[in-house]
A and B are shown apart, each in its own frame.
Chain A
Amino acid sequence: MQAATQDPSPQYSSKDLASAEHAQSFWKIVWEQFITHKAALIGLFIITLFILIALLAPVIAMVTGQNPEVQNPMNRYAKPMTEATLSADQRENAVTRFQELNPEPSAQIRKEIAEKQLFTFVREEDALYDLANAEPDVQKEVFAKLESPGHLELKQTFDQFSRFHLFGTDELGRDVFIRLVYGTRVSIGVGILVALASAVIGLLIGAMAGYYGGWVDTLLMRVTDALLSLPTLPVLIVVSAVSVDKVPGLRSIITQSNENIMKLVFILVLFSWMTVARLVRAEVLSLKEREFVLAAKTLGARDRTILFKHLFPNVIAPLLVSVSLGIGESIQFEAALSFLGLGIQQPTASWGNMLFNAQDLITEAPFLAILPGILILIITICFNYLGDGLQDAINPKSIRR
């Protein structure tokens, strides 16, 4: 600055001049401010990572060969980083079950093994049992050469014999790692869905209250204040115990197939739109006195046009902060309710209901209680830092310094 006032013709390149003369867009300024907040940037990075994991959950399941719902009662509470192997008895049972379920393909596979002499066995009828008890290397070799239809299914059965559990197994012998991966889907999905839905509802109600004023404002804000003053968790506990069938009209929104998740989303949205509504109302109250609204009115714009075209774009920025903080909060409430057994139900995995079971097992398997909670903590911290960073970037006056 000092240099510029003393020397009116500094050596700027034409590119610098062009960028200085060109007005920066609002979002570019926000972004440049945002990337100076390191914690928020790290938060954004971790959130992106988690969303990727959530989206790629089926791929991860395929690559690791794990299934979040496959139970294995013989292998409960396996410690993290253990390789679990089935006993000879259990292997033979599995093979019997496979042969009973797929008699045709197993006969073909047995025949193929006998014809090609893929490994040494005693009798053709028992070839699959012998294979089950053979060395893993032999099994691998055989499966590489098999071509008969059904050998892929057989391989799946054989894959169950020995598997590696990165984070151990739970009380039903399910792999904790893949359940955490699928839980990411549910937890983050519910969080984002609830935050977005309450943002839309809050935006509409807040904008209506702020723009129209008068009795509309009084009525809407009384309801908002009354709901805000309620203790969230006791209310959520009572409301989530309500059965969907007894509420008239609710069955048309929440069907049997999506009840597990949609009921929870519905309840959380019901009690989380108020902060957004208050925020939007305050913004709209100050915005509607500005000249550009007066100009639009003078030009004969309808209320709807003014609200949607002129006011909404101006509240998006503060709304974004509130959505970011709202996702973190919704994830916590989902986890809390699922932890109490009132949210997402088994067998669907969510970070909260994984803790519900772990609660009773703190002496046998403390690791079950530690991991889901750490994930909830990390993701909430990230969303809170993200909201903090956005707040600073959008409203530089509030920067903590």
Chain B
Amino acid sequence: MTNFIIRRLIQTVIVIALLSYFCFYLMTLMPGDPVDLMIQSNPRITSEDVARLRNLYGLDQPTYVRYWNWMSGILQGDLGYSRTYRIPVSDIMGPKLVNTFVLSFASLALALIIAIPLGVWSALRAGTKTDYVIGFFAFSGVSMPSFWLGLILIIAFAVWIPWFPAGGTETIGVDHGSWWSIVTDRAYYLVLPTVTLAYISIGRFLRFTRSAMLEAMRNDYIRTARAKGLSRVVVIWQHGFRNALLSLITMVTLSFSGVFSGATITETVFAYQGVGKLVYDSIIANDFNVAMISFMISVSMVLIFNLIADIMYSFADPRISLS
């Protein structure tokens, strides 16, 4: 077991290291470099000045040297400086990460609360009209472009019926008296993004729950339990659902990473200050330091979630061989 965990850990670290180099290389391929951006507002700059600036920032060196300098800075805790925000990158990341976590887990919880009962219900009514309607609901969720759903929700519940704010993370410039008012204020801003993100995952969870439940209800012990005269509720939830639960847990752990990365576009639509929006904003604004760090963080998060899911999976199901 320890062996397996260590091996997976090393694998993940190697992939992250390779990716960081790849990503650094990609940044050099983007239009414009930091010096170009610095000098574009200064028409009187001479070519010597440009050369001196390039030398100062080490831009005249080959990519791998620059990568090495950058990486050793990061390992010493220096994440660089943001061009647009004018503050160190490390100061930006913390709150954004928290925001993304809150959004991801809120939508995961909402999706599960809706998907599991509906999935069980449609499994019990397999082949009926109810099943088809729920199936269509699931399919529309899987096929829904999340950014469009976000737009429609903004039009409906922020423009036409102004119940919720159209975007943002919290009301700016308000002095909150207590932590409770902070929480309610944030929750207010969370509703629309959470619904958007949840609806996208409901489809997948629902279809999975349905097939797991169908599988479980086909077993002989279900017939035995019915024959014993147990009530319908007991048969479904204690004998059927409990056995479907194992594969459900696996699926939920495996989908953590998907929810985290899926938040990118939802955050952008709702101007929700998370890591995904930061990746997009910094790329658009040519803020290389921020782009690198935020991209690496969102990729690392996904890889780490995958690692955790793998480990939990092997704990949950002893039949999985670890060798």
Chain A interface residues (CB < 8 Å from chain B):
39, 226, 229-235, 237-239, 241-243, 246-247, 328, 332, 335-336, 339-341, 355, 358-359, 362-363, 366, 369-370, 372-373, 376-377, 380-381, 384-385, 388, 400-401
Residues of A within 8 A of B143 (CB): 328, 332, 377, 380-381, 384
Most buried by A among B148, B149, B291: B148
Q: Do B280 and A237 have beta carbons less than 8 Å apart?
A: yes
Q: A336-B265, A369-B152 are in contact. Are A234 and B295 (CB under 8 A)?
A: yes
Q: Give every chain A residue within 8 A of B184 (Cβ-Cβ).
A: none
Query: Is B159's CB under 8 angstroms from A363's CB?
Result: yes
Q: What string of 1s and 0s marks CB contacts (under 8 Å) between B276-317 and chain A?
A: 100110011000000100010011001100100000000000
State whether A229 and B306 are in contact (beta carbons under 8 Å apart), knowing that A238-B26, A400-B211 are contacts in the complex.
Answer: yes
B77 proximal to A (CB < 8 A): no
Task: Identify 4 new A-B residue pairs, CB closer than 8 A, beyond the known A229-B303, A335-B147.
Answer: A336-B146, A355-B151, A358-B151, A362-B155
Binary CB contact string for chain B from 9 to 34 against chain A (1 if under 8 A, 0 otherwise)? 00000010011000100101111000
Separation of A84 and B140 alpha carbons in the complex (Å): 36
A381 x B155 contact (CB < 8 A)? no
Query: Is B107 positioned at the interface, with any CB of A under 8 Å from its CB?
Result: no
How many B residues touch A, CB cutoff 8 Å? 51
Question: Given known contacts A237-B279, A239-B26, is B145 in contact with A335 (CB within 8 Å)?
Answer: yes
Chain B residues near A231: list those with CB within 8 A.
257, 260-261, 264, 298-299, 302
Most buried by A among B145, B146, B155: B145
Does B31 lie within 8 Å of A366, measured CB to CB?
no
- Are B145 and A359 closer than 8 Å at their CB atoms? no
Would you call the interface of chain A mostly helix, strand, loop, or mixed? helix
Contact B261 A232 (CB under 8 A): yes
> Chain B residue with minimal CB distance to A325?
B142
Q: How many A-B residue pairs have CB under 8 A?
A: 126
Please name all residues of chain B whose beta carbon is closer than 8 Å to the beta carbon of A335 when the two chains form the complex.
Answer: 145, 147-148
CB atoms of B127 and A401 under 8 A apart: yes
In the complex, whether B126 has a CB less than 8 A from a CB of chain A is yes
Given A231-B264, A233-B264, A400-B211, A377-B151 contact (CB < 8 Å): no
Q: Among B127, B142, B291, which residue has the most Cβ atoms of chain A within 10 A?
A: B142
User: Across the two chains, which residue of chain A brings its CB closest to B126?
Assistant: A401
Q: Are B151 and A246 within 8 A (Cβ)?
A: no
Q: Quick one: which of A229, A242, A332, A372 contacts B26, CB cutoff 8 A?
A: A242
B124 is an interface residue with CB less than 8 A from chain A: no
Distance in angstroms between the alpha carbons of A249 and B145 in the assembled complex: 34
7 A-B pairs with the lowest CB-CB distances in the bound complex, closest first: A231-B261, A373-B148, A380-B143, A243-B31, A246-B29, A381-B143, A242-B29
Residues of B within 8 A of A (CB): 15, 18-19, 23, 26, 28-31, 126-127, 136, 139-140, 142-149, 151-152, 154-155, 159, 166, 210-211, 214, 257, 260-262, 264-265, 268-269, 276, 279-280, 283-284, 291, 295, 298-299, 302-303, 306
For residue B139, which residues in chain A have a CB less than 8 angstroms away from its CB?
A: 381, 384-385, 388
Q: Which residues of B contact A247 (CB under 8 A)?
A: 29
Q: Could you tell me the distance between the alpha carbons of A226 and B13 in the complex, rounded to whole angstroms?
A: 12
Query: Separation in Å of the B172 CB from the closest CB of chain A?
Result: 20
CA distance A237 to B23 in the complex (A): 12
Q: How far is the CA of A327 from the CA of B245 in the complex (A)?
A: 32
Given A238-B295, A369-B151, verify A381-B26 contact (CB < 8 Å): no
Whether A234 lies near B145 (C-beta < 8 A) is no
Q: Which residue of B lies closest to A388 (CB)?
A: B139
Contact B151 A359 (CB under 8 A): yes
A340 touches B154 (CB 8 A): no
Give the chain B neighbours of A238 by CB distance below 8 A.
Answer: 23, 26, 279, 283, 291, 295
Cα A363 to Cα B160 with chains together (Å): 9
Most chain-A CB neighbours within 10 Å: which of B30, B159, B261, B264?
Answer: B264
Given known contacts A232-B261, A340-B280, A380-B143, A242 and B127 CB-to-CB distance under 8 angstroms: no
Chain B nearest CB from A345 CB (Å) reads: 14
Bound complex: CA of A377 vs CA of B143, how far in Å?
Answer: 6
How far is it, in angstroms, between the C-alpha of A226 and the C-alpha of B11 when the chains are bound? 10
B151, B291, B299, most chain A CB atoms within 10 A: B151
Chain B residues with CB under 8 Å of A39's CB are 136
Q: Shortest Cβ distance from A47 into chain B, in angstroms?
A: 13
- Of chain A, the residue at the smallest CB distance from B146 is A336
Cβ contacts A to B, 22 pairs, < 8 Å = A229-B303, A230-B302, A231-B261, A233-B264, A234-B295, A242-B29, A246-B31, A247-B29, A332-B145, A336-B146, A339-B148, A340-B268, A355-B151, A362-B151, A362-B154, A369-B148, A369-B151, A369-B155, A377-B148, A380-B143, A381-B143, A384-B143
The contact of A370 among B15, B152, B280, by CB within 8 Å, is B152
Q: How far is the CB of A319 from chain B (nearest CB, A)?
A: 21
**Whole-angstrom distance between the Cβ of A172 and the nearest chain B Cβ:** 20
Q: What's the least CB distance linking A339 to chain B, in Å?
A: 5
A11 to chain B, nearest CB (A): 34
Contacts of B264 in A (CB 8 A): 231, 233-234, 237
Q: Give the interface centre of A39, A231, A332 by most chain B CB atoms within 10 Å.
A: A231
Once A242-B30, A328-B143 are accepted as A-B contacts, the answer to whether A234 and B261 lie under 8 Å apart by CB is: yes
Interface pair B279/A234, CB less than 8 Å apart: yes
A192 and B247 alpha carbons, distance in the complex (Å): 34
Q: Chain A residue with minimal CB distance to B286?
A: A241
B28 and A246: CB pair below 8 A? Answer: yes
CA distance A206 to B91 in the complex (A): 44
A16 CB → nearest B CB, Å:
30
Q: How distant is A271 from chain B, measured CB to nearest CB, in Å?
A: 12
Q: Which residue of B lies closest to A250 (CB)?
A: B29
How long is the Cα–Cα vector from A385 to B143 in the complex, in angstroms? 10
* B residues less than 8 Å from A362 (CB atoms): 151, 154-155, 159, 166
> Assuming A238-B295, A243-B31, is B148 touching A376 (CB within 8 A)?
yes
CA distance A248 to B134 in the complex (A): 50
